[in-house]
Amino acid sequence: MSDGRGGVFITFEGIDGSGKSTQARRLVEALRAEGRDVVLTREPGGSPGAEEIRRLVLEGDPDRWSAETEILLFTAARRDHLERTINPALAAGRVVVCDRFADSTRMYQGLSRGDLRALVDQLHTLMIGREPDLTVLIDMDPETGLSRAKGRQGTEERFEDFGPELQRRMRAGFLALAAEFPARFRVIDGARPVEVVAAEVLATVRTALGGRADG
């Protein structure tokens, strides 16, 4: 599971409102209760600089940035997050649980306005060059996800505002991505009670962590 640098890097992916944040939090609580040293973080964000970029990309007019500019901004945020938060934690042998990572850029910027996936991947190779050890895809039908996401208050609405058609393409895209990278992806049905989903996530992660006593 580990790449030899010490820690284990776990990401959650899925459409808006699928329950990623809820499940990431639950997983971290469960792993900490087992005595593991765990860092919970998120994208865009996860370091002071990246949180500043988060405000630039998630607030304001939906047409504020072109898709290409967005790819640069999300990748800049990710690079800072990696340098300041993720890599130091992994080097210290900690488990890093991250709510969204590069797969979200592959989907949201790579698919929503033309096919920019190749550009996303090229920039990723150049500037990030790190994939998670395990990616939990919380799969969910867009109608349910959108109604859940709309239930939250806040000013970060740019991508949720893209509507159900885009969310349907994102869901299909995430499932295709899971098929493209079967070694690190696990797909979990998110349309069940929180506790049921959490139990399956924990079982999946435990299996992936295997016999690592220190994880």
Residues 13 and 100: beta-carbon distance below 8 Å: yes
In the block, which residue shows the tokens 């469960």?
A: 30
Q: Which two tokens stand for residue 154?
A: 């806040």
Query: Among residues 43, 80, 133, 139, which is the contact residue for ligand TYD, using CB under 6 A?
Result: 43
174 touches ligand TYD by CB under 6 A:
no
> Burial, 105: exposed, middle or buried (Cβ in 10 Å; 0-12, 13-18, 19+)?
buried
Are 75 and 141 in contact, with CB atoms under 8 Å apart?
Answer: no
11, 104, 135, 167: which one binds ligand TYD (CB under 6 A): 104
Strand ranges for 120-184 from DSSP E: 134-139
For the CB of residue 205, give the shortest distance to ligand ADP in the complex, in Å.
Answer: 17
On the question of a cis peptide bond just before residue 44, with omega within 30 degrees of 0, the verdict is yes
DSSP assignment letter at 155: S
Q: Which of 7, 19, 110, 142 binds ligand ADP (CB under 6 A)?
A: 19
Cβ of residue 182: shortest distance to ligand TYD, in angstroms?
22
DSSP 157-172: -TTGGG-HHHHHHHHH
> In this chain, which stretch among 15-23, 51-59, 114-122, 204-212 interacts with ligand ADP, using CB under 6 A?
15-23
- List, in order, residues 6 or more apart from 80 with CB less than 8 Å away: 47, 49, 50, 53
Longest dimension (CA), the chain: 48
Q: Which is nearer to ligand ADP, 123 or 146 (CB)?
A: 146
Q: Taking CB under 6 A as the rule, does residue 44 contact ligand TYD? A: yes
Residue 7: contacted member of ligand ADP, ligand TYD, none (CB under 5 to 8 Å, by partner type): none
- List the one residue from 38, 96, 111, 149 that touches ligand ADP (CB under 6 A): 149
Contacting ligand ADP within 182-201 (CB under 6 A): 193-194, 197
Smallest distance, Å, CB 149 to ligand TYD? 5
Question: Binds 105, which of ligand TYD, ligand ADP, none (CB < 5 to 8 A, cut-off by type)?
Answer: ligand TYD
Q: How far apart are CA 14 and CA 69, in angstroms?
A: 22
Positions touching ligand TYD (CB under 6 A) are 16-17, 20-21, 43-44, 58, 74, 99-100, 104-105, 108-109, 149, 156, 159-160
